[in-house]
Structure formats: structure tokens, C-alpha cells
Amino acid sequence: MLVIKTAQMRALEEHMALGFEARLSLAMRAWFPDQVDGMHGGEKKYRELLRTWIRRALDYGIRSERDIAAFVALILANAELSKGRQDLIDWCALIVESDDLAGASKIPAIMHRLRLEAQTDPRAKRLDEIFLGLRGAD
């Protein structure tokens, strides 16, 4: 009989988390190169921020890797696309912070609204394209 010890499971989980973090780092760098490259504190600070954003997503019940990636993209897009206009995704906070929505429903709800707004707002269209690239079509 195969027995997996708790320490082995923790090591496997840590390895998987580091792999996800590395893939997420590359994806965000591909979609937001100027923002990531221009971060004060360099790569070390960028990785610390990624870990913070991943933990924040988990705190909101957002658990799947593709939804976490979309959550991180929202954070980076807010800085890139707002440019003095916070109205693009201010409403996202209401969805993300809602206790009435399951974590797995939050990013799809945001994507639905973004698709509607993309018809008239090029910033929403850009974010919708990023989401499709990160998550694929649902």
C-alpha cells in the first residue's frame, strides 16, 4: 500500500504553488510588460506582490488558477487602463467582495459585464481580450 506522508503532501503543494506563480508571472509580464518591468523593487518586489494578490484572491474564495490569474489581471489592468479614470472597474470590487456570490462565480460575473461594456469602452474590450487569453472562452 502506498502511503503519502503529510510532509510529502506539503512539499508537493509548495512545488505546485511555485509552478503556478512562475506561470502567472510570465503571463502577467506578457500582458502588462511596461507595468511589470517598471515596478519599483524589481523582480523580488513583483514576486512578493504576486503572492499577495494570490492570497487576496483566495481570501475572496477565488480558487481556480485561471480565476486567480484573471483577478491579478484586474489589479494590473486597473493601473494600466484607468489613467485617471477609475470608473472602468470600480464596480468589480462589489462583485469580488460579495459574500452572496460563490468564489467560482465572481470572475465569470465580471467577464459578463466586461463583455457588455466592451461594446462601447475600448478599455473594457482590452480587459476582455486579456481575460479570454488567460481563461479561454467559457
106 in a structural domain? yes
pLDDT given at position 10: 75
| pLDDT tens digits, one per residue of 61-70 | 999 999 999 9
pLDDT in tens, 33-57: 988 888 888 888 999 999 999 999 9
The pLDDT value recorded for residue 84 is 58
Range of 74's domain?
A: 8-135
Q: What is the mean pLDDT of the chain?
A: 85
pLDDT number for residue 66: 92
- pLDDT value at residue 35: 85
What pTM value is reported for the model?
0.83
DSSP 8-state class, residue 87: G
Number of domain units in the chain: 1
List the end-to-end C-alpha distance of the chain, in Å, as a whole number.
40
- pLDDT above 80 for 16: no
Lookup: cell for 121:
469602452
Positive or negative CA dihedral for 35, 37, 41, 45? positive
8, pLDDT greater than 80: no
Q: Is residue 48 situated within a structural domain?
A: yes
Whether 1 is in a domain gets the answer no
Stronger pLDDT, 56 or 78, i.e. the higher one: 56
Residue 3 one-letter amino acid: V
Query: What per-residue confidence (pLDDT) applies to 100?
Result: 93
Q: Is residue 124 a contact partner of residue 117, using CB atoms and an 8 Å limit?
A: yes
The answer to whether residue 3 sits within a structural domain is: no
